[in-house]
Amino acid sequence: MKIAVYGAGYVGLVTAACLAKMGHDVISADINPERIALLLQGECPIYEAMLPALLIEQCELGRLSFTTNLQDTIHDAQIHMIATGTPCLANGQADLSQVFAVAQCIAENIKQDGFVVIKSTVPVGTGDRIENIFSEIFNARKERFEVAVVSNPEFLREGNAVHDFLYADRIILGGEPDALLCLEQIYQPLTAEGIPVIKMQRRSAELTKYAANAMLASRISFMNQISWISTKVDADIEEVRKGLSADKRIGPAFLHAGIGYGGSCFPKDIQALMHTSKALDIDVTLLEAIDHINMRQKNWVAEQLMTHFKGALKDKRIGILGLAFKPGTDDMREASSLVVIERLLEMGSELFLYDPVAIPAAKTMFTEKSEKMSWCASIDEVLTHRLDALVIATEWPEFKNYPLALIRQSLEDAPLIDGRNCFDLEAVKAAKLSSYYSVGRIPLREVI
Ligand code: UGA
């Protein structure tokens, strides 16, 4: 069966490439001509490890192709996977316009029975709404095909997307049992390797996706909340984390305190879940707290600098290492660094910024404020600017592995504000940094 994947963004492209890798005949369709032109030239429009080589490999094998021609794609395919974006509207609601536009296009052009598989993150009940779209359009067309609508949420992380798809913890399929049998066959190469399929009602599958992201975000906000207590009582959040991780009921994942979560998923999905809850008259205290703690945490860097310099940040020369919302991506959406930069610019600081891959994306977000911002090509270049302070906003490996002795040499008495706890406290003490602030650990200026 031919599989069409609509939307060539993170989820769509990775899904298309991985399904091709699993041996399927896949076409990736997107209405953005520049994006498809790049893909046809063998280039990958997003920064994602392993993806560029996989795209080329699968195109050369003839299992993957790209198009802007939605009509022909719809005619040819039996499986229609919707993987378009669902960004956040001003009121927190998920914007489903792209998902519905694709569904409508499929309904208007389909010429045979098939399956619609929703990969996009969509609120509970979206599958029902898509069924209604099909029903209405088939009525107007005065012809009808059997189209089963299935929810198959995606759990891949940016930066690990190909791995997360091919070695998923589980595959969630929501829909009528007969329809799920076909989807199970598609995933057979993965299930044969032991990846479990969990079948459920479609609404449960839709909710599972939001619940998973909210659960992960809650763990991060929980640790960030504990980090404030940890600093005040002179404990060490990294030791607390190890103590918690060893409890099998808790486990080690997503317990790193830091300057908050960002990206295109957690912030928007928490908002969307709040919106859904409010519409159902359900209390949102927990979701609000997750969000509130995260917003507060993004101000942590500015607060440490305010304390250190007693509020006088005007004309202070501050280096910022890391701009992307996390390592392994050039994605700047909801990155914590954006809040750090905004706050420091408001207070009149001069910034020297470096990220291994996200500078082009970051530049587009600060076109009007550039006179106080200098973009650097390396850590070394940042350190040549006689800094008053150095900030780490993203835990890229090259920052973690950078010799502390060299940082100490360049900073002299200036503080290092480590928003991602990249360094071991003993190593910082050994390097004799004069001031080191990290999340949930007592500042080292008082110890030295
Ligand atoms: C997240 C989920 O992890 C995926 O399972 C999901 O498929 C995806 O959203 C989505 O809905 O599409 P992603 O946004 O790529 O994936 O990034 P994560 O690795 O989850 O990190 C999110 C944020 O949490 C980052 O800013 C990261 O720095 C932060 N984080 C993560 C912490 O602050 N502490 C941690 O312990 C872990």
Pocket test for ligand 1, best of 216, 329, 396 (most atoms within 8 A of CB): 216
Provide the pLDDT for residue 370. 73
The Å distance, Cα 123 to ligand 1 centre, comes to: 19
Q: Which atom of ligand 1 is nearest to the CA of 326?
A: 28
Ligand 1 near 273 CB (within 6 A): no
Average pLDDT for 72-100: 95
CA-nearest residue, atom 17 of ligand 1: 157
- Which protein residue's CA is at the shortest distance from atom 12 of ligand 1? 265
Compute the distance from residue 107 Cα to the ligand 1 centre, in Å: 34
Tell me the per-residue pLDDT of 182-200, one tens digit each, with 9 for 90 and over: 999 999 999 999 999 999 9
Atom of ligand 1 nearest to the CA of 334: 26
Q: Is the pLDDT of residue 34 over 90?
A: yes
> 223 pLDDT band (50/70/90 cuts)?
very high
Tell me the best of 242, 254, 331 to mutate to test the pocket of ligand 1, counting ligand atoms within 8 Å of each CB and taking the most.
254
Report pLDDT for 366. Answer: 87
Q: Across residues 29-37, what is the average pLDDT?
A: 97
Mean pLDDT within 3-26: 98
Write out the two tokens for 220: 């991060």
| Centroid of ligand 1 to alpha carbon of 192 (angstroms) | 28
Q: Report, as an integer, the average pLDDT of 227-242.
A: 97
395 Cβ inside 6 Å of ligand 1: no
Q: What pLDDT score does 369 carry? A: 66
Which one from 105, 265, 376, 422 is the annotated catalytic residue?
265
Q: Up-side HSE of residue 214: CA atoms within 13 Å toward CB?
A: 18
Number of the ligand 1 atom closest to the C-alpha atom of 217: 24
What is the CA(11)–ligand 1 centre distance, in A?
A: 14
pLDDT confidence of residue 371: 86
- Taking phi first (over 0 means left), then psi (-120 to 50 degrees means alpha), and beta for anything else, what does residue 418 get? beta
Biggest CA pair distance of the chain = 80
Cα of 403 vs its chain's centroid, Å? 29
Catalytic site residue 265?
A: yes
Q: How does residue 349 score in pLDDT terms, banded at 50, 70 and 90?
A: very high
Query: Comparing C-alpha atoms, which of 97, 79, 101 is closest to residue 88?
Result: 97
Rounded to the nearest whole angstrom, what is the distance from the C-alpha of residue 264 to the centroid of ligand 1? 9
Q: In whole angstroms, give the CA distance from residue 401 to residue 417.
A: 16
Q: Is the pLDDT of residue 253 over 50?
A: yes
Q: Once rounded to an integer, what is the mean pLDDT over residues 297-313?
A: 97
Q: What is the pLDDT of residue 445?
A: 81
In sequence order, which residues have a C-beta less than 8 Å from that of residue 437 and are 6 or more positions away? Answer: 304, 308, 415, 416, 417, 418, 443, 444, 445
Mean of per-residue pLDDT scores for the chain: 96
Is 209 within 8 Å of 121 (Cβ atoms)?
yes
What's the pLDDT at 257? 98
Q: Is the pLDDT of residue 93 over 80?
A: yes
Confidence of residue 368 (pLDDT cuts 50, 70, 90): confident
Query: Beta strand pairing status for 2-6 and 147-151?
Result: unpaired
Q: Whose CA is nearest to atom 28 of ligand 1?
A: 326
Q: Is the dihedral of CA 195, 200, 205, 208 positive or negative?
A: negative
Please give the full DSSP string across 357-386, using - where no structure is assigned: S-HHHHHTT-TTSGGGEEE-SSHHHHHTT-
Overall average pLDDT of the 229-253 stretch? 97
Res 448 pLDDT > 60 = no
Measured in Å, residue 261 CA sits from the centre of ligand 1 at 7
